[in-house]
A and B are shown apart, each in its own frame.
Chain A
Amino acid sequence: MTTVLLVAERDEKGEIGQSARQAITAANRLQDAQISVVFTGEAPDSATSLPVGRVITISPIDSTDNGIYDQATADLVALVSSDSPDVVMFAKSDFGSVVGARLAFRIGAAFAPDCVEISSDADAAGTIGVTRPVYGGSALAEFEIAAPPVIMTLRAGAFEASTDTGAPAIESFSSDRLPNRPVEVSESVAETREGVRLEDADFVVSGGRGLGGPEPFSILADLADVLGGAVGASRAACDAGWIDHSHQVGLTGKTVSPDVYIAVGISGASQHMAGCSSSRAIVAINKDGDSNIFKEARFGVVGDWEKVLPSFLATVRDLKA
């Protein structure tokens, strides 16, 4: 038996996030998984039909703890100490990455971030195996953890979301409020940005060194407009000053996971792919048929973007009209 505590996050509508349903699929990879789903604050109504044994609600974190997570960490340390699970799962979100790491180091547990595969060792009871991408996705690393508990975060989209239903027991857990918290959040300042946020865009049109200058980014912007998406760029294009660094996709830029990532004149260095490899489909336009981007892409045209892109844009426009 493997006991799993799965810390769920809500989506922007307050419903159970896809990451939690994906984590249920992941947890079921473990031998005889007994899953408990944890919600901070009240559980959404749909939690009563999750395909798990228990739903546990803990005290909500107030907005002043958001981002710092001193109280959230303390709450989960208390729950994990009392529940003694073999595995604690988080999404690889800001919350999951920070609280997961702090929980692991506070209780002296192993921490496995950004897992894309997990398993139980059939021969060694209690041993958990995890796989995670390293070196910007150029390599995969497989680890074994012999001594539970292991705290892990799961990469978005690495597991299919579970659509099963069940009838979990509903429980609540209360922990002490911290008497004083050393870090104080006084306000949140919203910054307005134009257009669709790169990280949220369903379509990203990115340009690289092969564009040869700043002007071609205007046709990329036109294409992004038609698709309702955002413009990205490789580090080479940003370093050359053709477009602002806020558009940079990659290890040292933003990580995007759109439905379609259109890479124009981008060779596909691993540091760039680290920022876009979880896209549903990568479409490459590049005149060098040997470039790495074609190893990662689902669709591609080997050709000069100056000739390919205008007709591509015109056809997309017609299809969208």
Chain B
Amino acid sequence: MTVRIVVLAKQVPDPETPPSQFKVDESTNRVIPPNGVPPVVNGFDLNAVEAALKLRDGGTDVEITLLSVGTEFVLDAMKKPLAMGADRLVLVDEPGLDKLDSAGTVKVLAAAIEKDGPFDLILGGRQASDWDQAHVTLGLAEVLGLPLVSLVQKLELSGDSVQLQRVIPDGYQVVTAPIPSVLTISNEIGEPRYPNLRGIMQASRKQPEVFSLADIGLSLDDLAPKMELKRLYVPESNRQVELIEGEDEADAGRKLALRLREEKLI
């Protein structure tokens, strides 16, 4: 029996973009995409892809579907999970879907999952590197009425349940969840694998399956935000660095230590 896994994935600006290139258009409250730095799939979502691939490595017959909500997708970026080994890419793509709040995003994801499902496991990364909402997956579990386990670092299928390790500050909890369940995957699952050449070739031939909002029975009117974004801006750094100088660099190091002592910091 094939275990159907859906992994929630989000296209984000590359978090490695140098701060000097990070700019906001304050008239539209949008980030201006930096020149020449293409977007990427949110790094934590790749951890979730890795978790699904590890189940396949363990001999389970899995079908891995990537699901993303947004618009202006850059397919080269979104196909990375396919190149890693995921099977399908499903996009809910329509202008305006990049402006949803988390409640709206959850509604769209839930409708798409109901349309494309049923799924045995729904996996999400622990947080996104752009709006750092870190709760879309949690909210989805509530809206779908499914059991939820957060911060999973290991998973193993056994019959109609899934054995999990959940990260806690000084170790892990051993947890059993039924199927279907919603899981958020922690980066402790391990580094996402690099796509190999065969994977890249296969991914290049695959096309995404695209849903419009109407396809999943929604319209933008159903998705009015609960929270209205009033202003997005880059804060002025109010921190004035105190540069310590000395006769030479070694002397500066000595004076730095004395200054920190003076401030009772060490």
Contacts and interface: CB of A to CB of B under 8 A. Distances in A.
Interface of A: 66-68, 70, 94, 97-98, 100-102, 104-106, 108-114, 129-130, 133-136, 138-147, 150, 182-191, 193, 197, 199, 203, 227, 235, 245, 251-253, 259-260, 268-271, 273, 280-281, 283-285, 289, 292, 294-304, 307-316, 319-320
Interface in B129-177: 129-135, 138-139, 141-143, 147-151, 165-166, 168-177
A151 B18 CA distance: 33
B197 interface: no
Contact of A252 (B44, B244, B245, B251): B44
Interface stretch (B57-65, B111-119, B231-239): B231-239
Interface stretch (B89-97, B203-211, B258-266): B258-266
Most chain-B Cβ atoms within 10 A of its Cβ — which of A130, A135, A298? Answer: A135
Pairs of residues from A and B, 7 with the lowest C-beta to C-beta distance, nearest first: A315-B257, A312-B253, A101-B135, A307-B249, A105-B142, A311-B253, A303-B249
B242 interface: yes
Nearest to A181: B147
A252 B229 CA distance: 26
A296 B141 CA distance: 38
A138 B131 CA distance: 11
Contact of B132 (A136, A182, A304): A136
B231 A185 contact: no
Q: Give the interface size bracket for B toward A.
A: 35 or more
Given A98-B138, A144-B230, 5 more contacts: A70-B147, A281-B265, A283-B256, A292-B18, A294-B243
Contact of A188 (B17, B142, B171, B178): B171
A280 B265 CA distance: 9
A304 B252 CA distance: 11
Contact of B168 (A67, A253, A299, A320): A67
A108 B143 CA distance: 9
A197 to B, nearest CB: 8
B137 to A, nearest CB: 9
